[in-house]
Structure 1
Amino acid sequence: MEEEKIHDLFMDMMTSVVKDRPEDPIDFLIKRLTKPERKRIVVVTPPGMKGGDDTMNEEQYNVALMLEQHLKEDWRYDEVVTISVGDLLQKEITKKSDFGKRIYESRKKYQYIEDEIVIDLVQKHIEECERDQKEHDDSEEGEKLTGW
Structure 2
Amino acid sequence: MEESLSPTLEQLQQELVQQVIELYRTHLGYKLPQVSCHIVDRTVTILADDSITRLEQFLGENQQIDLASQVRTNLLKFLEPHLQSLIEQTIGVPVVDVICNSTFETGRTSIVALLDSAPNISGLDTTRRVKQRLKSDSNPDSDK
Tell me the TM-score normalized by structure 2.
Answer: 0.29
Larger proportion of strand: 2
Query: Which of structures 1 and 2 has the bigger CA Rg?
Result: 1
Tell me the TM-score normalized by structure 1.
Answer: 0.29
